[in-house]
Amino acid sequence: MEPFELDLTAAAEAIGTGSLSPVELTESVLGRIEATEPAIGAFAHVSADLARDAATAAEKEIAAGRYRGPLHGIPLGVKDLYDTAGVPTTSSSEVRAGHVPDTDAVAVRRLLDAGMVMVGKTHTHEFAYGGRTHTTRNPWDTARIPGGSSGGSGAALAAGSCMLALGTDTAGSIRIPANLCGTVGLKPTYGRTSRRGVASLSWSLDHVGPLARNVTDCALALDAIAGHDPLDPASVDVPVPGYAAGITGDVRGLRIGVPANFFFDHVRPDVEASVRAAVDVLVGLGAEVREVTIPYPDQVLAVEWGIVLPEAAAYHRESLRTKAHLYRPETRLQLEAGELVLATDYINALRVRTLVQRAWKELFADVDVVVGPVQPFPAPLVDEMEVVWPDGTVELVDLAMVRLTSPANLTGLPTLAVPTGFDERGLPLGMQVTGRPFDEATLLDVGAAYEAATDVVGRLAPLGR
């Protein structure tokens, strides 16, 4: 096995025992990037020289007895929305071509302080405003999209081009690529992780979180990046447990809410079957199932877009007046449409969101988690723009991709995406597990229990067929 094939936890154990050095690991990952980038295009910028310097420094620190913990010497991919000092940060857009920040985003700084080695910046759908990531292909099948907006992070992880990656999630942008690329992705509770230094799509919906190859690796990342930031107005000052150390994988007595509506409406049969089989695995481990009804299902996308459109337009207001020609056409169209949303419509969307949040709080009076599909289908083809359901309903793929993920953004609830299997073409399928505010620990236990009971989670992808 090559070093790049290891997951974060295994690599950390090897570094801790001295059987693998950070330099060896980094060189292996950089070699993997060089081999895979022509096929998948996951990286907006590869910081090879900086990575080698950081790996060398990590190796010297560890040899001198200054081991910082399990992230020390581990290769990291950072979504190109995050500021990185001295490294280009363009949001995968010509609008910010040549932009080099002089400080790190808070989440990046916390991971670097934990000893991680940043190997590069991963591509995003331009300014995170979409679910395709046009620059990048899916390593399970390069004729297909990796999802978005954190598509570069999902693709890089699945290809073995890093061992942890940062993403952002405004309508599903961590969970969509995690699902389509067969990795684990965690959207923490709104306010659990700092957004400072991260380009905004919609400030009241944006979340910062990790993608990784398995559940424990996600927990290790959350251990590092969670915590109050007084300079982020959305940050909440609540205690942060030790997530990785606290994983028990014990789901006995856990009450799983399985939706009777919404989450299994207009999804492919193999997706539904895979998620229901995963629930059965958890039941076999001692959990119990309770049927739940998802509140306000018909309002989800209207409220999501009623908030995203004007907030994104406000963030980009100046650039739209000076650099509009540099945006991709569909991004510019959505931003300009956002300027046409009435203030009364925006306020009404916020009001309905409050109703949605209250209803979901009541839902969790009877269950501990809610489980459903992440996506209604596996990774679409690059040119696949519509899906026709058996009842004749025609749905735009781009809207379908955020249909099942948006509730967790509207509510701010923590959600974990975990692979549950593969379709007949070998494309990943998966479930999302949503929990109470700031109860990421329970989600990680559910994911760890399922991971330990199956052999699905943690597989590297082929690079196409």
Task: Note if 149 is an active site residue.
Answer: yes
Nearest to 227 by CA among 215, 236, 217: 236
Residues of the chain with pLDDT under 70: 464-465
The verdict on whether 406 is a catalytic residue reads: no
* Predicted pLDDT of residue 465: 46
What span, in angstroms and rounded, lies between the C-alpha atoms of 446 and 448?
A: 6
Q: Which of 21, 161, 173, 194 is catalytic?
A: 173
Phi, psi of 455 (to 5 degrees): -120, 30
Structure tokens at 79: 């979504």
Amino acid occupying residue 109: R
Can you read off the two tokens belonging to residue 20?
């693998």
d(CA 117, CA 115): 7
Out of 149, 153, 194, 406, the active site residue is 149
Beta bridge partners of 185: 211, 417
β-strands 207-212, 184-187 pairing: antiparallel
- 121 is annotated as an active-site residue: no
Catalytic, out of 21, 28, 47, 79: 79
Domains of the chain: 8-233+251-301+341-453 (3.90.1300.10)
Contacts 24+ apart (CB under 8 A), 332-339: 334/129, 334/309, 335/129, 337/309, 337/313, 338/308, 338/309, 338/310, 338/311, 338/312, 338/313, 338/314, 339/310, 339/313
Q: What is the pTM of this model?
A: 0.97
Which pLDDT score, from 0 to 100, does residue 462 have? Answer: 87
Quick: pLDDT tens for 336-367: 999 999 999 999 999 999 999 999 999 999 99
Positive or negative: CA dihedral 425, 33, 93, 117: positive
- Rounded CA-CA distance 108/224 in Å is 10
